[in-house]
């Protein structure tokens, strides 16, 4: 599983949570360059990703993430362990 595979897989989750059917995620996408990605949306995105991949993120793991690419790398690490 590559970073691009994960970004493609989580894109529908972001589109649903943010109510943006045409949203195109990149590795550099983050809360400051995606409309409506606020703190509440962030929680909903994380929960949707946890449900989708059947993983749980620790708060410390999430605090270091700067963009969607970092999130994809974290998902790859978490799913490799399970």
pLDDT surpassing 70 at residue 82: no
Q: What's the whole-number average pLDDT of the chain?
A: 96
Give the domains, in start order, of the chain with CATH numbers.
Answer: 3-81 (1.10.1200.10)
Q: What is the pLDDT of residues 70-79, one digit of tens each?
A: 999 999 999 9
Residue 53 CA neighbour count, 13 Å, CB half: 25
Which candidate, 55, 59, 47, 62, places its Cα nearest to that of 76? 55
Gap between the terminal Cα atoms of the chain: 14
- The pLDDT tens digits of the residues spanning 31-71 come to 999 999 999 999 999 999 999 999 999 989 999 899 999 99
Q: What is the pLDDT of residue 81?
A: 74
């Amino acid at each position: 599983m590559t970073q691009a595979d994960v970004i493609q897989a989580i894109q529908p989750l972001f589109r649903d949570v943010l109510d943006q059917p045409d949203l195109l995620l990149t590795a550099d996408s983050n809360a400051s360059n995606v409309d409506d990605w606020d703190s509440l949306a962030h929680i909903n995105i994380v929960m949707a990703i946890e449900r989708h991949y059947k993983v749980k993120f620790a708060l410390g793991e999430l605090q270091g993430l700067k963009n969607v690419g970092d999130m994809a790398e974290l998902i790859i690490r978490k799913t490799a362990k399970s």
